[in-house]
Amino acid sequence: MAASKPQIAYLGLGTMGRGMVANLVAAGYSVTVWNRTPVDSKDLGVDVSVASTIAEAVSGADLVMYCLADDPAVRDVVQGAQGVAAHVSDDAIVVDLSTISFSAHVEEREAYEARGVRLVDAPVFGSRGEANAGGLWVVAGGDEADFARVREPLSVVAESVHYMGPSGSGVRMKLVGNYLVLAQLTALGTALSMANKAGLPVDAVLGVLKVTDFRSPIFDGVGDAVAKDDYAPDFAAKLALKDAKLLQEVGAELGLAVPVADTAQDLLERAVGEGWGDLNASALIKVIAADAGVNLAR
């Protein structure tokens, strides 16, 4: 890209998109946005152009970015006569920040390659708070020269940006990380339920978890929220269920047992069945506590 800042099209203004757009604008980028549900620029609180169609949004864009919920959402935005692949300039770079399956990534990549458009897969760790603060963590795959060209705008939305290797490497790393997230949520729910049944005060337990050599930001943040009976969504349980299923798929593909994903999928399916799908992913802890017959709130 030229020395001047690239023109950015950002598609999708959900949990992650609004924060990323605000940070890009604050850093001096010119951004055109599109959202499936129409939005007014005044509602966004930042100086952006609002396009009514994907074609309008990507027209003239040097860089197209999106962070969408799942495989079907990415297919819907990318493919087809009205999709990004049909309308983006062949000298633009597309950055997909979504968490999707490897097979969906391959479909997406092939749709762009047919037009000669370059794609960087750059899924993110973090949720609404990190997106708003510009504190996400990006794991990227693709051609290294293409990655170098988009590193600067990615650094605006992220605390750190990591190049993982060829196309698809970002997608793979995101699933590796998500396995660890689900493992920690499951372990935390079981440990807190065990402590409760053993008569240990929740505040004392959390105090230990904050200082030991196995401390974790997830244990700290989610543990405090659970003690307050706070399951307000940063990352919805229904989306965590999607990730657990993706982990099952990659495990089958690689011939690898993924026992935590098995357990988390069961817990999250039950959470969604209880009507907790729009609560935080930590709602799986509510299921663990219910099975144990305990109340983890103070």
| Distance of alpha carbon 30 from alpha carbon 33, whole angstroms | 10
* CATH architecture of the domain with range 173-292: Orthogonal Bundle (1.10)
The confidence score (pLDDT) of residue 4 equals: 86
Q: Which of 243, 21, 283, 256 is nearest to 125 (CA)?
A: 243
| Distance of alpha carbon 85 from alpha carbon 74, whole angstroms | 11
The confidence score (pLDDT) of residue 252 equals: 96
What CATH number should be reported for the domain whose range is 8-166?
3.40.50.720
> Chain-wide mean pLDDT for the chain?
96
C-alpha torsion sign, points 243, 75, 139, 8: negative
Question: Which residues of the chain form CATH 1.10.1040.10?
Answer: 173-292
Question: Which residues of the chain form CATH 3.40.50.720?
Answer: 8-166
The confidence score (pLDDT) of residue 3 equals: 59
pLDDT at residue 158 tops 80: yes
How much is the pTM?
0.94
Q: What is the per-residue pLDDT across 22-74, written as a single tens digit (0 to 9) for each?
A: 999 999 999 999 999 998 888 889 999 999 999 999 999 999 999 999 999 99
Backbone angles phi, psi at 182, to 5 degrees: -65, -35
- What burial class does residue 61 get, using C-beta atoms within 10 Å of its C-beta: 0-12 exposed, 13-18 middle, 19+ buried? buried
Which position has the token pair 């999607």? 242
Residue 198's CB is within 10 A of a number of other CB atoms, namely 8
The confidence score (pLDDT) of residue 184 equals: 98
- Please indicate whether residue 4 or residue 257 has the higher confidence score (pLDDT): 257
Length of the chain equals 298
The confidence score (pLDDT) of residue 199 equals: 98
* 213 Ramachandran zone, left/alpha/beta (phi>0; psi -120 to 50): alpha
Q: Give the pLDDT mean for 65-92.
A: 96
| Distance of alpha carbon 257 from alpha carbon 149, whole angstroms | 37
Q: What is the per-residue pLDDT across 202-253, written as a single tens digit (0 to 9) for each?
A: 999 999 999 999 999 999 999 999 999 999 999 999 999 999 999 999 999 9
pLDDT at residue 1 tops 60: no
The confidence score (pLDDT) of residue 40 equals: 85
The confidence score (pLDDT) of residue 46 equals: 93
pLDDT at residue 2 tops 70: no
- What burial class does residue 248 get, using C-beta atoms within 10 Å of its C-beta: 0-12 exposed, 13-18 middle, 19+ buried? middle
| Distance of alpha carbon 70 from alpha carbon 79, whole angstroms | 14
The confidence score (pLDDT) of residue 292 equals: 98
